[in-house]
Amino acid sequence: MKTITSRDNPTFKDLHDLAVTARRQKREGRALLEGPHLVAAALDHGVVPELVAVAEEALDHPEIAALLVRIPGVPVLCLRSTLFREVSELKTPVGILARIAVPKVTKAGGAVSSAPSLRTGTAGDCLLLDAIQDAGNVGTLLRTAAAAGVRDVLLGPGCAGAWTQRVLRAAQGAHFSLAIHENVDLAAFVQSFSGRSLAAVAHGGESLYALDFSQPTAWLFGNEGAGLSPDLVALATKRATIPLAPDSESLNVAAAAAVCLFEMRRQREFG
């Protein structure tokens, strides 16, 4: 294990640049996982890091030591505490950070797949996100989709990057059990989808609880302020609205998606 004590070290400089440059992360198809939980989630799904950095004081932490045993052959850097804080986004760093290549999408529900639904419109439950900009919301939506058993998530232009550190933290490892597709032409996908598409709208749609979820469903959720684009609403098979108390105007998009996806799951499991 190599110990780095200087900011001038080329490997540290490269890691630091990647940590602070979202465009570079996207261009190179790399992501940074911070914390034992995310690193363990990646390993559990067969994603092996390219590089791991550990804070000097965390080397003897039992959870981190156990993770290092699982990655023989992966380069591990020991960083002085001051240097580790410079590549961490957390106020109180948890001591381990891993650089990974973003998994290629090959099959819904797996880290590597061919995503037939994107090519042919093959029906299967999926979540479509239209210009959702808040990283916390995107991460929570991914976590909710995974928990509800919806494996394909399609992000249109304008969404927060799915593999940025804030989104990764909010999703708590859900990325590795999903097929995540970014920069998707959502309108084209909806038009080719062979199942039913539902536009989630705050007002004017059919009650969520009056809908039948026996067939595959593509759910569309829109921007935090503007909602779904009118074009996408027009393309959807139906519009769905969650009945709210009279003095309530709307729900946060991540909360609304949780209500909708778990109502679909409830119907299928319990009728």
pLDDT at 108 over 50: no
pLDDT band per the 50, 70, 90 thresholds, residue 117? very low
Contact criterion met (CB below 8 Å) for 42 and 176: yes
For the chain, where are the alpha helices, taking DSSP H only? 10-20, 22-28, 36-44, 62-69, 81-87, 116-120, 135-148, 165-171, 186-192, 230-235, 253-270
The percentage of residues in the chain with a pLDDT greater than 70, rounded to a whole number, is 93
pLDDT digits (tens, 9 = 90+) for 242-259: 999 988 888 999 999 999
pLDDT band per the 50, 70, 90 thresholds, residue 94? confident
- Confidence at residue 104, expressed as pLDDT on a 0 to 100 scale: 82
- Confidence at residue 110, expressed as pLDDT on a 0 to 100 scale: 35
Least confident of 37-51, 70-84, 93-107: 93-107
pLDDT at 228 over 90: yes
Report which of residues 6 and 115 the model is more confident about.
Answer: 6
- Confidence at residue 1, expressed as pLDDT on a 0 to 100 scale: 83
Distance CA 111, CA 88 (A): 25
- Confidence at residue 226, expressed as pLDDT on a 0 to 100 scale: 87
- Confidence at residue 91, expressed as pLDDT on a 0 to 100 scale: 84
The percentage of residues in the chain with a pLDDT greater than 90, rounded to a whole number, is 80
Distance CA 111, CA 99 (A): 16
pLDDT digits (tens, 9 = 90+) for 152-175: 999 999 999 999 999 999 999 999
Instruction: Give pTM, 2 decimals.
Output: 0.91
pLDDT band per the 50, 70, 90 thresholds, residue 122? low
pLDDT at 107 over 80: no
Distances (CA, A) of 35 to 39, 63, 72, 97, 141: 6, 10, 19, 6, 20
Distance CA 185, CA 116 (A): 15
Averaged pLDDT for residues 87-113: 74
